[in-house]
Structure 1
Amino acid sequence: MESFLLSLVLALLWVSTAQAEVLVQPDFDAEKFSGLWYVVSMVSDCKVFLGKKGHLRMSTRAITATAGGGLSVHMEFPRADGCNQVDAEYLKVGSPGHFRVPALGYLDVRVVDTDYSSFALIYIYKELEGALSTMVQLYSRTQDASPEAVKALRDFYPTVGLPDDMMVLLPKSDLCSRKDKEAP
């Protein structure tokens, strides 16, 4: 039992040290970050993601800044049986651009890089079905990410230990079309 507890403590210390190495966007501005984003690419070591990555489609995030530096996020995911919608509160942790999302099992969410007008890189460390995993998402204000944004993604995800074969550029989908919708 003592060795199990020691292993658990060491693992938690390693995780917190590893997480501290991922920086947040300097001077992150939640108001400028608000609005509609498309998730155009993802990279993850999550077993659920890896099993489904060939079937995933581009999803959306309608983001609104909240009091205290948090974010209210409305997500729409195209699925074979229709459009799945999820709302979540991203709770500010520490510096602006650093969040946790207990409802989704997101232990650590960081806006790593954004120019606010065209792209954003999002780092997520989460727990799903009892397993810990790392994910990086590329957000774009349009369904077509710029080559510079894709390069930023490709330069970043290896720094958190994710290899190329865990990356997918997501195909477009009209199932959850938000063309005429505003962010909630």
Structure 2
Amino acid sequence: MGELGLEPVLQGPRPSGPMSCPLHTLPPVSRVLMRTKGQESAKLLGCGSQFSGLWYVVSMASDCKVFLGKKDHLLMSTSTVKAITGGNLSVHMEFPRADRCNQVDAEYLKVGSEGHFRVPALGYLDVRIVDTDYSSFAVVYIYKELEGALSTMVQLYSRTQEASPQAVKAFQDFYPTVGLPDDMMVTLPKSDVCSLRGTEAP
């Protein structure tokens, strides 16, 4: 699961351009925000230095077929975020597997408002930080393309491996608003595979 989505090694051919599907196929911001019925989680929040640092991806929900076929075997991954020029983010991701630790680096390109990105290299057409307090949790919305199919993903980021009740509630309140039912959600088990192998984020 590529972090701010499915691990890129699981993906097929990547889009050749920054937007590989027509803009009219993207879910409008207004649709995502209206579905939250005015809740605080609907706000597009800033990132930058406040969002930098280590995050654990503790829960996910998605209608991606690849995710649904593998979700019962996935483990808690990490993203190390660094603010760079132009409001972009440099993200180092580590995905534990039974016998190895896969690592991926990607640049999240700022689009318009704060907390709004795209990641052409990973097929992420629309990435939004829809809720965060910066110090403990973030709810991240991703609209992505995998092997020509469009899908929606929502991830719960936590500064620790145990998400707070506030964080869990924010996540559980948001993912149904973008059409994801409970059976498409998974809470990811902890893993020390990457830490035991001594991997370090750049």
TM value normalised by structure 1? 0.87
1:82 aligns with 2:100: yes
Residue 37 (structure 1) aligns with: 55
Letter matched to residue 139 of structure 1: Y
Q: Which moved more, 1:55-64 or 1:27-36?
A: 27-36
Q: How many Å separate the matches in 1 of 2:148 and 2:200? A: 36
For the pair shown, which has the larger CA radius of gyration, 1 or 2? 1
Residue 61 (structure 1) aligns with: 79
Match of 1:115 among 114, 133, 156: 133
Letter matched to residue 46 of structure 2: F
Aligned-residue Cα RMSD (Å) equals 2.0
Alignment size in residue pairs? 172
Match of 1:171 among 179, 189, 192: 189
Asked if the contact 2:58/2:157 (under 8 Å) is kept, the reply is: yes
Residue 7 (structure 1) aligns with: none
Greater fraction of residues in strand: 1
- TM-superposed CA distance for 1:16, in Å, is 3.5
Residue 102 (structure 1) aligns with: 120
For structure 2, the residue ranges without an aligned partner over 5 or more in a row are 1-21, 34-41
Asked if the contact 1:106/1:125 (under 8 Å) is kept, the reply is: yes
For each residue in 1:137-177, what CA deviation from the matched residue of structure 2 results, as whole angstroms up to 9, or x when unmatched?
A: 00000000011111110100010000000000000000112
Asked if the contact 1:44/1:167 (under 8 Å) is kept, the reply is: yes
Identify if the C-alpha distance between structure 1 residues 26 and 106 changes in structure 2 by more than 3 Å, giving closer, same or farther: closer
Identify if the C-alpha distance between structure 1 residues 18 and 171 changes in structure 2 by more than 3 Å, giving closer, same or farther: same
Residue 148 (structure 1) aligns with: 166
1:70 aligns with 2:88: yes
Match of 2:26 among 2, 5, 16: 16
For each residue in 1:34-78, what CA deviation from the matched residue of structure 2 results, as whole angstroms up to 9, or x when unmatched?
A: 000000000000000000000000000000001110100000001
Letter matched to residue 68 of structure 2: L
**Stretches of 4+ aligned residues off by more than 2 angstroms:** 15-27, 180-184
TM value normalised by structure 2? 0.79
- TM-superposed CA distance for 1:183, in Å, is 5.5
Q: How many Å separate the matches in 2 of 1:133 and 1:174? A: 29
- TM-superposed CA distance for 1:25, in Å, is 4.3
Match of 1:46 among 64, 69, 75: 64
Asked if the contact 2:44/2:116 (under 8 Å) is kept, the reply is: no
Q: How many Å separate the matches in 1 of 2:191 and 2:144? A: 26
Identify if the C-alpha distance between structure 1 residues 12 and 64 changes in structure 2 by more than 3 Å, giving closer, same or farther: closer
Identify if the C-alpha distance between structure 1 residues 88 and 25 changes in structure 2 by more than 3 Å, giving closer, same or farther: farther
SS at 1:177 equivalent: helix
